[in-house]
Amino acid sequence: MPDMTPDEFRKYGHRVVDWIADYGDRVGELPVRSQLAPGDVRGALPAHPPEHGESFDAVLADLDRVVLPGVTHWQHPSYFAYFPANASGPAILGDLLSSGLGVQGMLWATSPACTELEMVVVDWLAELLALPADFTHAGTGGGTIEDSASSASLVALLAARHRASGGEVERSGATGRQTVYVSSETHSSLEKAVRVAGIGADNMRVVGVDENLAMDAAVLDRAIVADVAAGAVPAMVCATVGTTATGAVDPVRAIGEVCRRHGVWLHVDAAYAGVAAVCPEFRELNDGVADYADSYVTDPHKWLLTNFDCSVFWVRDRGPLVGALSVLPEYLRNAATESGAVVDYRDWQIPLGRRFRALKLWSVLRWYGAAGLREHIRSDVESARRFAELVAADDRFETVAPPRLGLVCLRPRWERIAGVDAAAADELTARLLVELNDSGALYLSHAKVRGRTALRFCVGAPATRWRHVEAAWERIRAGVAELADS
């Protein structure tokens, strides 16, 4: 098969866009979670690649026949699991333009627009979220788009490790024994980062949480004092704004005071909740960030209408970050880099190469405007609030943590409904979850909250309206009634 001609590209491109538009129209009629078993998709595909090129029609036919049944529909209006991964028309089109340009933006010189548009959109987002001016490219720091919050937190740790070792870690690998502080509710990506960075999980302190599942700053302080006394070098504390299990918020201000006293890097992981700060009424979540955070990450791909992947990461001081990650081989040398007048984003991430992700975030910010983004967040928070009210009004259920933004964690009170003990109750909750998700009508996930199994219900898919939330609640109630009868 020869190259696809521009006319062929146009023809199939229109069909693909039509396909995506139709998908958006009908996604609500599909089972939310894929109903396939392991191996079904692979089994439906040929074992060997084609020797001769095929028509794109054949690819599109297999998309419907093989791929779609194996897709879990994250854009389904009844998707309430994990944190929804937001997509939107403008983001899809922005991503398509990025593919069309096919740019690899490792250096400013490899495409100035790729770097400078990114600098502008992350500065815009910092302003929309009321993050401190230090975090912008006009200040001492700046932001960048990473593939995920996991990568951003690893990069934060590498910068923190660099600062704590005075750069010794990059020279000799010798850092002394560095320690990192998280809470029992911190996302698992931090432990992964600690492992990848070579700090070792034994040097990660899991600080206890209070009754709100938030890190206890006094316990953190004691842990740091004890480690310093034992000869360790505390490198980083990760505070979470919106934990994954329940949306709990660590006291960033109190934690920040501890960090400042001991000279420890404060990274704030706001992967889910951070974007809610587009609304002034939710900015108190970030209390302390402006005064104390060294780095901050939030994911527009979780709740700001931007297709995965788009995780925005800011630092207050770009020095340690670039110090940790910049290596300049001869083949990347160029006049712009040498002039010092440009940002080379390869120094802000692990890989060298990078996509032109700014196009999709730019498309989203321009299409919705700040007002449209606020409306999206507010309507989800309002739906979650009303859902929590329904839960609270039914004495067969309880919320196991305060509802936070779009997230409600709940459980049926099986002890009361079925007269069973806690262990049997947790098993019934787990069975309920399987049955609800197997139905294809909705999709929830679960968490352990204070040792008990809870359902996690997160409103955030762009297509979700109150009627879908209400229908999900009726499904959950009916599921409980059926299990109680059986």
Ligand X SMILES: *Cc1c(COP(=O)(O)O)cnc(C)c1O
**Is the CB of 179 or the CB of 189 nearer to ligand X?**
189
Stretch that binds ligand X, among 144-152, 156-164, 248-256, 474-482 (CB under 6 A): 144-152
Q: How far is the CB of 189 from ligand X (least distance, A)?
A: 5
**Is the CB of 412 or the CB of 462 nearer to ligand X?**
462
According to the binding rule CB under 6 A, does residue 244 interact with ligand X?
yes
Stretch that binds ligand X, among 129-137, 148-156, 209-217, 401-409 (CB under 6 A): 148-156
**Is the CB of 271 or the CB of 433 nearer to ligand X?**
271
According to the binding rule CB under 6 A, does residue 295 interact with ligand X?
no
Query: Are residues 433 and 479 in contact, defined by beta-carbon separation less than 8 angstroms?
Result: no
According to the binding rule CB under 6 A, does residue 286 interact with ligand X?
no
According to the binding rule CB under 6 A, does residue 149 interact with ligand X?
yes
123: exposed, middle or buried (C-beta count within 10 Å: 0-12, 13-18, 19+)? buried
Using CB under 6 A as the binding criterion, the count of chain residues that bind ligand X stands at 14
DSSP per residue over 255-323, as a string? HHHHHHHHT-EEEEE-TTGGGGGGSGGGGGGGTTHHHH-SEEEE-HHHHSS--SS-EEEEES-HHHHHH
Q: Mask of contacts with ligand X, 304-343, x by CB under 6 A?
A: -------x--------------------------------
Q: How far is the CB of 402 from ligand X (least distance, A)?
A: 17
Query: Are residues 469 and 379 in contact, defined by beta-carbon separation less than 8 angstroms?
Result: no
Q: Of residues 408-447, which lie at the interface with ligand X (CB under 6 A)?
A: none
**Is the CB of 126 or the CB of 407 nearer to ligand X?**
407
Rounded CA-CA distance 123/422 in Å is: 49
Question: From edge to edge, which strands make up the β-sheet containing 445-449?
Answer: 397-399, 407-412, 452-458, 445-449
Q: How far is the CB of 184 from ligand X (least distance, A)?
A: 13
**Is the CB of 85 or the CB of 425 nearer to ligand X?**
85
- Beta strand 295-298 pairing with 397-399: unpaired
Q: Mask of contacts with ligand X, 154-193, x by CB under 6 A?
A: ---------------------------------x-x----
Stretch that binds ligand X, among 20-28, 32-40, 146-154, 167-175 (CB under 6 A): 146-154
- Which sign, positive or negative, has the C-alpha torsion 117, 120, 126, 127? negative
Stretch that binds ligand X, among 191-199, 240-248, 284-292, 364-372 (CB under 6 A): 240-248
According to the binding rule CB under 6 A, does residue 118 interact with ligand X?
no
Q: For residue 60, give Cα distances in angstroms to 6, 67, 301.
A: 18, 10, 26
Q: Of residues 251-270, which lie at the interface with ligand X (CB under 6 A)?
A: 269
Residues 6+ apart with CB under 8 A from 245: 185, 213, 401, 409, 447, 448, 449, 456
Q: How far is the CB of 406 from ligand X (least distance, A)?
A: 12
**DSSP designation for 169:** H
**Is the CB of 83 or the CB of 292 nearer to ligand X?**
83
Q: How far is the CB of 240 from ligand X (least distance, A)?
A: 5
Q: How far is the CB of 304 from ligand X (least distance, A)?
A: 12
**Is the CB of 107 or the CB of 305 nearer to ligand X?**
305
Instruction: List the one residue from 148, 165, 298, 307 that touches ligand X (CB under 6 A).
Output: 148
Question: Tokens at residue 393, please?
Answer: 């009004």
Q: Which residues of 75-96 are buried (b: 16+ CB within 10 A; e: fewer)?
A: bbbbbbbbbbbbbbebbbbbbb
**Rounded (10°) CA dihedral 128, 132, 135, 139:** 110
What is the Cα 408 distance to its own chain's centre? 18
Q: How far is the CB of 410 from ligand X (least distance, A)?
A: 19
**H-helix or E-strand spanning residue 325:** helix 318-325
Q: How far is the CB of 367 from ligand X (least distance, A)?
A: 22
Peptide bond before 309: cis, by omega within 30 degrees of 0?
yes
**DSSP designation for 37:** P
Residues 6+ apart with CB under 8 A from 187: 149, 150, 153, 240, 243, 244, 269, 271
According to the binding rule CB under 6 A, does residue 299 interact with ligand X?
yes
- Beta strand 233-240 pairing with 265-269: parallel
Q: How far is the CB of 16 from ligand X (least distance, A)?
A: 26
Q: How far is the CB of 314 from ligand X (least distance, A)?
A: 15
Instruction: List the one residue from 74, 79, 80, 272 that touches ligand X (CB under 6 A).
Output: 272
Q: How far is the CB of 147 from ligand X (least distance, A)?
A: 8
**Is the CB of 165 or the CB of 311 nearer to ligand X?**
311
Q: Which residues of 220-259 are buried (b: 16+ CB within 10 A; e: fewer)?
A: bbebbeebeeeebbbbbbbbbbbbbbbbbbbbbbbbbbbb
238 phi and psi angles, rounded to 5 deg: -110, 115
Q: What angle do CA 17, 21, 24 make, to 5 degrees?
A: 140
Instruction: List the one residue from 115, 150, 306, 337 that touches ligand X (CB under 6 A).
Output: 150
**Is the CB of 128 or the CB of 273 nearer to ligand X?**
273
Q: How far is the CB of 270 from ligand X (least distance, A)?
A: 7
- Return residues touching ligand X (CB under 6 A): 83, 148-150, 187, 189, 240, 243-244, 269, 271-272, 299, 311
